[in-house]
Amino acid sequence: MDIETMKQLTQVEQSTQQELPLAARIVLRANSCQPFADCGFSKEECCESQSEQRIIAGLLLSIQESERKRIACDLHDGLGQSLTMFKLALAESEQLLASGAIEQAASSLKRLRQKTQAALDEVRQVAMDLRPPMLDDLGILPTLSWFFREFESDCHGVRVEKEFNLQEHSIPGKLKITIFRIIQEATSNIVKYANADRIRVHLKKVGDALHFTIEDNGDGFDPAEVAIRNGSDRGLGLLSMKERANLSGGEYSLDSCCGQGTRISICWHIDNLQNVI
């Protein structure tokens, strides 16, 4: 095989893996067979990493199926029933118009308009849960401002202090959805487990590096104790945030202590992101 052919095969492999979902890429990495001497880690470290990735892959695939089921139920129970109601309401209005009952037909159509608006709001909410359109239309900074406003509105008693010391164009496009998903997962964990009343979020650029931090003043936990748990008890949220950070080329760190809150920090060196799969 000549050098040019090898380059083309490498490009195809990288392009294919970029299009794979997160769980599938984790499976590929978890089953990779790179020699220990080549990867720069000990055999024990490689085995631990691969074991962790297999756990994440299995749990993420399970969650992916659960999410598909949830979306199907939302469409069937929400939008499906709304469309059936629209059909019946339009048929009623048609009959009223045919019989000359103009006022009753107008009243029926007015009620239908209100129900249509409710259905549109429901569709927007489903779309927002999947991927906020404003992330593509306005960018990550306005999206995060909206997200934290909604978060504080829904989670009474929890205050969010955010500090963004950078411009929108300073954040590479491939990192925007990664940062958003990590914040979603982190805030979800805080609400479920931390019993915190304050969250601090920092996002800044220093030189060629992008620094992200989210911390709370909640209960905290012992990271070593969580690390030795099995299966889903090991903390899928923490593992998924770590894997998202690693897959996007970031350096992830977690600091937590019982009674002293939790801090997650990620640093991305922008010049290195072009080499990340």
CATH architecture of 136-275: 2-Layer Sandwich (3.30)
Residue ranges covered by each domain of the chain: 1-130, 136-275
Return the structure tokens found at 80: 């499906």
Q: How far apart are CA 192 and CA 161, in angstroms?
A: 19
Return the structure tokens found at 77: 């129970």
93-112 pLDDT, tens digit per residue, is: 889 888 989 888 888 888 88
Answer yes or no: are the C-beta atoms of 174 and 140 closer than 8 Å. Answer: no
pTM: predicted TM-score of the whole model, two decimal places: 0.65
Task: Please state whether beta strands 250-256 and 209-216 pair in parallel, antiparallel, or not at all (unpaired).
Answer: unpaired
Average pLDDT, the chain: 80
| Residue for token pair 């399970």 | 62
pLDDT at 148 over 90: yes
171-219 pLDDT, tens digit per residue, is: 999 899 999 999 999 999 999 999 999 999 999 999 999 999 999 999 9
Higher pLDDT, 243 or 11: 243
30-57 pLDDT, tens digit per residue, is: 444 444 445 555 666 666 667 667 766 7
To the nearest 10°, report the CA torsion of 111, 114, 115, 118: -170
Angle between helices 236-247 and 22-30 in degrees, nearest 10: 80
Band of residue 61 on the pLDDT scale cut at 50, 70, 90? confident
Q: DSSP strand E in the chain: where? A: 159-165, 198-206, 209-216, 250-256, 262-269
Band of residue 115 on the pLDDT scale cut at 50, 70, 90? confident
